[in-house]
Amino acid sequence: MEKKKDALAALRAYADKKPSRSEGAEEAARLTGRLYGAEGTARGRGALALARRPALLALLAAALVLTAALLFAFFYGGGQKEPMYFEDSSIYTETIEDIGQFQQENGLSLSLFEGDFLGSKYTAVRYIEDGRLLYVRQTAAALTEEGPDTITLSICISEGRFPGFNVFTQLDQTMQVGGIEAAYGQDSVDENTFYAKFTAGGFAYCLKLVTFGDAQALESYIAQLL
C-alpha cells in the first residue's frame, strides 16, 4: 500500500513537470509498472507504443512521398533527351531564289554574308515528314590578298543532329568575337580548312572556311555576322 502511495505521489510530481511527449510516455510506463506490477508495465509499454505511433506514421508518409517524387522524376522528369538525328533519306533541299522574301515568309532575321562576296547561293533543308525547316545554308566566295576563300555557312533553325555536322561537335578551341564565344578548330588533314560554331539571335551558326589565311581570317568572317 505504501508503495502505491509513493507511486501516486511520483505521478503527481511528474504531471507538474510537463515533460515532452516521448519522455512523458516512457516515465508513465515506469510509474504504471510501479503501481500495477508486470501487468501495469505491459500497459505502460502499450501506451508508449501508441505515443510513438504518430511519429512512425509521419516517417512512413515522408518516405512514401519521397519515393513517389523520385519515381516521378525518373519517368516524367525534365531530363534532356538526345536530340533527334535526321538521316539523309529523311531530309530534302530546296533552292532559295530570294533570301529576303524567304526570311519574311518564315519569320526569320538571320545574319548572312553580304557585300563583296561572289556567287552567293542559298538553300533550305527540310524534314520530309512534316516539311519542317531544319537549317538554311549559304555558300559564297571572297577574294583576299592571299587568294580566294570559300565559305559555307549553315544556320540551324530546328534542334537536331544533321548529316555532315558532326565535325562541329568536336571543336576544341575557343575565341571571343564581338562579345560572344565561338568554338573553332582546324581540319586535321587540310590545314587550310577551319570550322567554327557559335550562337547568335537564338540560332546556332556553323561556319566552314577554306582559306589561305589562318585563324585570324576565321575570326574576321565571324565578326561580319555579328
Task: Give the separation between CA 102 and CA 185, rounded to whole angstroms.
Answer: 31
Q: Does 12 map to a domain?
A: yes
Q: Give percent above pLDDT 70 in the chain.
A: 65
Q: Does residue 128 sit in the same domain as residue 43?
A: no
β-pair type (203-210, 193-200) = antiparallel
Pick from 184, 122, 131, 181: nearest CA to 154: 122
Q: Does residue 154 sit in the same domain as residue 50?
A: no
Q: Does residue 103 sit in the same domain as residue 154?
A: yes
Q: Does residue 190 sit in the same domain as residue 117?
A: yes
pLDDT digits (tens, 9 = 90+) for 128-150: 999 999 999 999 999 988 889 99
Q: Does residue 50 sit in the same domain as residue 92?
A: no
Q: Does residue 52 sit in the same domain as residue 25?
A: yes
Q: Does 62 map to a domain?
A: yes
Q: Which residues pair with residue 209 across a beta bridge?
A: 151, 194
Domain boundary among 76, 111, 131: 76
Q: Which residues span the domain enclosing 6?
A: 2-76
Number of C-beta neighbours around residue 27 at 10 A: 18
What pLDDT, on the 0 to 100 scale, is given for residue 75?
A: 47
Domain boundary among 47, 76, 105: 76
What pLDDT, on the 0 to 100 scale, is given for residue 196?
A: 96
pLDDT digits (tens, 9 = 90+) for 174-217: 999 988 999 999 998 888 999 999 999 999 999 999 999 889 99
Residue 164 has pLDDT above 90, yes or no: no
